[in-house]
Structure formats: C-alpha cells, structure tokens
A and B are shown apart, each in its own frame.
Chain A
C-alpha cells in the first residue's frame, strides 16, 4: 500500500532480498531492513558478490549501514530468476584470485595506453570520482 501514489518509495521493499550497486563498483546482496529520505540503507545478512567473467564468489559481511550517497541502484532479487542463473559460483579464494588477475590485466592495458599517448605527446587526465552537485 503506497501512502503517496506515484512516488518512488522503498517502503514496500523492506524485508526483501536486494542487490545494491555501490559507486565504488561493489555489489552487495542482502535483506533491506531500514531506509530513510537519503536512501541510507540497512542491509541484513549481507554478502559482497564479486563477478569475474561468468564466475562469481560471495563474501559474507553481516549487517551493513550504507550511506545513501554511495548507492547507485537497488534491485529487488527475483528468487526464481536467481536459481536459474547461467553464472557459476566459485570459492572466495578463487574469485579473489580471478579478480586480482583481471585487475592486473586492466592496469597493464591502461599503462600501455598512457605510454602510447605519452609517446605521441598527449596526456588524458583521469576521470576520478563522480561529480557531486
């Protein structure tokens, strides 16, 4: 029952399992227990999910209080769709290793790119954190 029809509210999402994307690229999955007007969230039985290619690994994290400004999106997990995912779950050690390898490959590609640009006398400044207005 929406108390203000037409308005986006998280009140109906309480106690449901959600996927939260954070601005730093992390993915958290947990039960939404509390919200406020800033989209600050309290997540229960939270798991940090790391994706590399078609594999993923879950790290149990307990209770999370997420400051709203870090939230990109909140998605309600459809439990049926969750069970027939094409993704393969692996152990924490394995996914952390995969992530490390992927990170290294990415940094190497970045390094080659900046070197190539530098050789041509160009330099592109890094786009760091998102603009805050």
Chain B
C-alpha cells in the first residue's frame, strides 16, 4: 500500500483539489504527503461557494488522510500506464 504514497510523492508541487468527506473542497499545491496519506497543501482556496468562511485567513493546511474522499488531479500529470503497471506488480506481490 506504499503504492499510493509513492504516487502522491511524485505529485508534490502540483495543483490538486482535495474533496473531503464533509463535502468541503480545497484547492491547493501539494506540499507533502505521509504514509497515512495525510496531505499538506499550500496556497489554499476553498473551491466551492465560500459558504465555508472560516478558512479565509488560512494559507496552508494539513488534511488528515482519513477524511479525504477524493483527490482531483490534472490529467496530464498522471501516467496511467505506469500506474496500472505498478498496481499489477503490487497485486502480484500481495498474492504471494
């Protein structure tokens, strides 16, 4: 399961949108990620209508991995072939 950790590490520096389980969506630059897939974003902005005013004075944030629903990525940043191959290898290793 270090697969997605490695995957996210390769995306550090890219702009992503993180959708949380509480329906909040946050756009920002991926600063770092850890083994729990906790995410740190910099230069954040709340994408959906600012019905979440409390985030106005926050520029950087730490998001607990357990509350993430989706991480939206730019399509051209992801090599899906590579990802597929890596996933197949991982599945093979897990079987053994």
Contact = CB atoms under 8 A, between A and B. Distances in A.
B21 A130 contact: yes
Contacts of A92: none
Contact of B40 (A8, A25, A77, A81): A8
B17 interface: no
Contact of B54 (A7, A19, A68, A86): A19
Contacts of B35: 7
A49 B65 CA distance: 24
Contacts of B39: 8
A94 interface: no
Given A72-B64, A72-B67, A7 B32 contact: yes
A68 B55 CA distance: 20
Interface string B55-89: 11111111110110000000000000000000000
24 contacts: A7-B34, A8-B32, A8-B33, A8-B34, A8-B38, A10-B62, A19-B54, A19-B57, A21-B24, A25-B22, A39-B62, A68-B64, A69-B66, A72-B22, A72-B64, A74-B61, A75-B61, A77-B57, A78-B58, A81-B56, A81-B58, A86-B56, A87-B53, A130-B22
Interface of B: 9, 12, 20-22, 24, 26, 31-35, 38-40, 44, 53-64, 66-67
Interface of A: 6-10, 13, 19, 21, 23, 25, 27, 39, 49, 51, 54, 56, 68-69, 71-79, 81-82, 85-87, 130-131, 133
Given A74-B61, A85-B56, A85-B57, 16 more contacts: A6-B32, A7-B32, A7-B35, A8-B39, A19-B57, A39-B38, A39-B62, A51-B54, A68-B64, A69-B66, A72-B22, A72-B24, A73-B62, A76-B59, A81-B57, A86-B56
